[in-house]
Amino acid sequence: MADDFGYLGVRVRSRRGELLPESFFTEALAVGFEDFLRMLAETPYGAYLTGEGLSDVDRAVSELYRHRVADLEGLASGEAREALRLLFLRADLANVKAILRAKASGRQPEEVRARLSGGSLPEPVLNALLEAADAAGMAQVLVLPGHPLARALRRAAAEAQDAFEVELLLDRYFLAELAREAARFGDPFAAYFKDELELTNLATAFKLAALGGAEEPERYFVPGGRYVNLALFTRIAGGELEAVDELQNTPLSAFAGVRDLAELERRARCFLLARAARAATDVLGPGLVLDYVRRREWEGARVRLLARRAYYRLPEEAVEKEVTCG
């Protein structure tokens, strides 16, 4: 496996120096859109910034990702290429879920786009998913040959009663498969996917609790975790939110005391980014690549959100929690 990751690791290490410093995001929180564009033009995104609108920022984010992340698959072979495939699939899943969630809450496509990052789905496909009327329409759009997420989405859309349920079933049918495939690479790569699975279960339980519970909560539980087991999941989904405190003496202790879904999701994002950063010491395996891909996805999402804050002249606090960790 080391041979497969050796060359890829060299390329990734050279690209890590191109990541934006934290000072960029601190300053960008307080500037207007014109100054934001000026700042962005002085970064690696500037090579792909061809206009002065929000869509131009989105395009620059997508183009940089295509040239500095998505292209890695063509440079990899064997186990390394398979690991990259799993990383891109998990990003595709996150993007599709974000679109489903937005449709369920009535958000506009432009608002959703700011929260999309990474993945292997081409821009025209993402645009079509954003414009689709419902989950069934999204399933018709996502007809890429051999893409496993397309099969899972069609199944979930056929069985679900609404877009919210589609999101939960999509996790149920797809996330466990990703975790199983990641297991063959060993830790820390496999541990990251398992952590993501467990935190997804935790978020799902909070969502069900907010809706007053579910008759069959086990229908939405993703098997494969260790600490958020079905018993704990069922109790939280039934409204016993304080049961989350039982995670206090586990690796998921950061989530003890959480009672709010938005706070849970913010902590989960930062927790997983920290887990990926810790994996970067795995220079002869997929850990270094995992950290780089996740950091690029997070960077792109932050750039898009900060561009919208500046463009619409929103107060800093409107997005500060969404673009910071720590």
Q: In the predicted model, is pLDDT for residue 74 greater than 60?
A: yes
Residues 146 and 219 in one domain: no
Tell me: do 216 and 113 sit in the same domain: no
Cα radius of gyration rounded to whole Å, the chain: 19
Q: Token pair 């940089």 is at which residue? A: 64
Q: Among 4-18, 103-117, 196-210, 223-237, which stretch is predicted with the lowest mean pLDDT?
A: 103-117
Residue closest to 309 by CA, chosen among 33, 99, 41: 33
Q: What is the pLDDT of residue 2?
A: 46
Global pTM exceeds 0.85: yes
Contact status, residue 179 vs residue 197, Cβ threshold 8 Å = yes
Q: Which domain holds residue 119?
A: 2-188+282-321
Given the structure tokens 């033009």, which residue do they identify? 41
Residues 21 and 139 reside in one and the same domain: yes
pLDDT digits (tens, 9 = 90+) for 116-139: 778 888 888 888 898 888 888 888
Asked if omega into 188 is within 30° of 0 (cis), the reply is yes
Q: Do residues 96 and 129 make contact, with C-beta atoms less than 8 angstroms apart?
A: yes
- Number of independent structural domains in the chain: 2
Q: What is the pLDDT of residue 1?
A: 43
Residues in contact with 26: Cβ distance below 8 Å, sequence separation at least 6, in sequence order: none
φ and ψ at residue 36, rounded to 5 degrees: -60, -45
Question: What pLDDT is recorded for position 307?
Answer: 96
* 242 vs 256: CA distance, rounded Å: 8
Please check whether residues 223 and 87 belong to one and the same domain: no
Spatial separation of the C-alpha atoms in residues 214 and 112, rounded to whole Å: 27
Query: What is the DSSP-derived secondary structure letter of residue 218?
Result: G
Neighbours of 316 (CB within 10 A): 12
Token pair of 30 as six digits: 């307080």
Reported as a single tens digit per residue, the pLDDT across 250-281 is 999 999 999 999 999 999 999 999 999 999 99
Helix (H, G, I), strand (E, B) or coil at 229: coil
Confidence band, pLDDT 50/70/90 cuts, at residue 241: very high
Q: Is the pLDDT of residue 284 over 60?
A: yes
For residue range 19-30, list pLDDT tens digits in order: 999 999 999 999
The per-residue pLDDT for range 152-197, each reduced to its tens digit, is 898 998 998 887 899 999 999 999 899 999 999 999 999 999 999 9
- Report the percent of the chain where pLDDT is more than 70: 98
Whether residues 195 and 167 fall in one domain: no
- CATH number for the domain harbouring residue 72: 1.20.1690.10
Q: How confident is the model at residue 3 (pLDDT cuts 50, 70, 90)?
A: low
Q: Do 260 and 203 contact (CB within 8 A), yes or no?
A: no
Mean pLDDT calculated for residue range 67-80:
92
The secondary element (H helix, E strand) that includes residue 275 is helix 261-279
Please indicate, yes or no, if residue 326 is contained in any of the structural domains.
Answer: no
Burial class (CB in 10 A: 0-12, 13-18, 19+), 312: exposed
Q: What is the mean pLDDT of residues 210-235?
A: 94
